[in-house]
Chains A and B, each alone.
Chain A
Amino acid sequence: MSASASAVREPSVHPAHAGFWSTYVFSTDHKTIGKQYLALGALWAVVGGLLAFVMRWQLAWPDTAVPGWGEIGPETYNLVVTMHGTVMVFFVAMPILLGALGNFLIPLMIGARDMIFPRLNMLSFWTFALASLVLLASFFVPGGAASAGWTGYPPLSARPEYTGVEWGLNLWLVAQALEFAAFLMGGVNYLTTVLTLRAPGMTLLRLPLLVWQQLTAATLFLLSVGPLIAGAFMLLLDRLLGTGFFLPDRGGDPLLWQHLFWFFGHPEVYVILLPALGAVMEILPVFSRKPIFGYRWIIGATMVAGGLSFIVWAHHMFVSGMDPRLAMPFSITTILISVPFAFLVFAMMATLWRGSIRFEPPMVWALGFLAMFVMGGLTGIFNGSAPADIYISDTYFVVAHFHYALFSSLGFGGFAAIYFWFPKMFGRMLDPALGHLHFWLTLVGFNVTFFPLHNIGLAGMMRRIANPLQYEFLAPHQWLNELATVGAMILLGGQALFVLNVVRSLRAGPRAPANPWQAATLEWTAPSPPPHLNWGPAVPVVSEGPYEYSRPDAAEDWLPQAASPAARARGEGGPWR
């Protein structure tokens, strides 16, 4: 029953006897589960993108019918706005950045054959799949899907008669609860796996930064989601049982929801950001042929930022009517948190400095992340300062800010990761020309969409309004809305290139060698794609740090983490282009 000291955990199903269902559907293999998260997240990305299309069309030309949908009234617009946010944050960003990257990469990067709790891992994905089903169902129930904003503020969300949405919002809450459960299970798995299953020689300070970032993200999620689950129960009871947690006429206070929501909501945005940062921090050294700058300081700064993220939340509430005495402390902590993030940006820039830059698609996307994230971070400073925020809160300035921060993570960081690890995941190379074109269309489309929103936000355009033309003062600025929508068409349309690239590569792309990028971390010593249990009889033994590039004493210019001759032989990648 108990494992001996030298036993290696064996899979519950022998690969030769595994049928279709246990190999591809109910798999406990972390790589398959990672791909399942990726696929489901990608499907939801299509939904989220379509919802964005509807929003942008409506805002640019409010009195016309949206192609493929029809005329949009305010209630429908509320639904679209709500579900776009919910889908993108919880059903696209988290599954792709945390679920897919974390599951696929963590065991490979630490030299483990799988996660420590493979069946819990499988359960986590299927719980997420169930959450997806519930959320999808919410579109089709009478009254439609939730329409009280992705933040679900009461009293709008607490009284069904205010939105006209009955079951849609109840299902929304259930779907969220299931999603939280799925990622809690995943987080427990990641944290326990990294602490107990590292290969010989893989000390904590030799871990690739992506692993550190995934762990920090998992911890942030684990510690922040509880109060929101509490709030979700309260909201459900208000809706179903006539309680009054958030309803003033029943003795409650809507502000409590906001506190509980944002106590989670702020760490949540770092839960999304950190995995993307981790991916970029893997990519920059490889394509600069330079070690990452300030490895330990990066870990420290990330932890400081993570800790601070728990005491900044009320910067989302400056205009909520909360006690004004809270404004200054939360402004201060918010400005403070920009310090560790600024350090991370400087560390990434210092990594590039005097590097031998190779502009492969993963690198180009990673550089795009850096540039766009800096812009998002800069506008964050305005938002975080209470006096300024009183003017710009609930305007499109905030929308611009968080799209620069979130899209840089999910879009630029996410695509950087996908282009980088696609060969490892699927054993095929993506076409680099299409990859570059995809990048430029995304960069241009993204900026044309979201930069004007800063301007129109400062001009006073409010969030969540279905028809800007109803407001006379916005009429002179409507051209900005139209410009943004043109940008959105470019942005959304450009993604077709990615789909094309993936489909072509999966069918007939060049086969990927084990290490096409000449990267040093352990996943590149396994075949592309890795077999079940990741390596043959011998797990890598680690003797180096993760970023030993430009080593003058190495035969080539770099040292892989696993420096034994057998591993080096496996690691000889294809020719460097």
Chain B
Amino acid sequence: MKGYRKYFLNKLVWLFVTAVFAFLLNFILPRLMPGDPVAAITARIAQGMSNSTGMKETYEQYQRSFGLDKPMLTQFALYIKNVFSGNFGTSFSQFPRPVSDILSSSIWWTICLQFPAIIIGWLIGNTLGALAAYLKKGFDKVIMPISIFVSNFPAFGMAVILMVIFGVKLRWFPTSGGYGFDLIPDFSWKFIWSVIVHYQLPFWSIVIIAIGGQAIGMRSMSIYELNADYVKYSRFMGIKDNKIVGYVFRNAMLPQITGLALSIGTMVGGALIAEIVFSYPGLGYTLLNAVMGQDYPLISAVTLIITLMVLIANFAIEMIYGLIDPRIKAAQSD
């Protein structure tokens, strides 16, 4: 395990650096917005107010809580401190609900939906691509055009199509929400079943998009590997094809894992839109409502959380890669 230390540290440092950068971005960008954000916020909060003193006090209170009366660096420190203590401020569109509360209720829906969906889509896509490369002929000729076609669909496109076919026309699945509107979350079977049913369409939209993209890549990699010298040599030595195929896919898989790490940002982005299409109560939908309601604290918090999630996922994938590719360990030991 010693060999991994260098690799691990390397990736950890990177995670830290990008996280800092993400914080900076989340902090700086909205503050570059022209105009006085506090005035805009106050205007919204004070919509019902007619008392000008009350408005002025609200304005000053927000100034203070944002620390806008302090220098930038202090503001940033305040921001970081707030984030780490879980204080993301109060939401405007769902006033007076704290942002952290909104986040904690929607983040689990997103994680439970996207995480399995992306992984399963990746697995199925790679398997199909590998099979297409190995079986050739008929299977390949069918899978290839379908994959090309599907991979060109925008993520939300697939979501809409699935919704229309299975939700509206065939009425097999519900078209919106995370669970039935008439249900209150608890651990009853009825609730859980409703959740599962509502889970299907968003889940499969993300999976299908992921499959389309992966299948093509894996197929190319597999074809490349299947023609490699070591395949021929293993055959010369009398090793069975099954075993050889095992080698090939393990080798072809490695660049695919790296590819996953690189593209996870995009996949999450697409999956968020899919959530929105289905009004699924995850981060995507929350973000949409936040934007529509001009809820600055909420938007800022959601984008930060999404970025951090992607960064952590990226880190995890790179760690897994380090464990799987034996050459990493070998390269470290000398």
User: Do they bind each other?
Assistant: no
| Interface set of B (CB-CB < 8 Å, partner A) | none
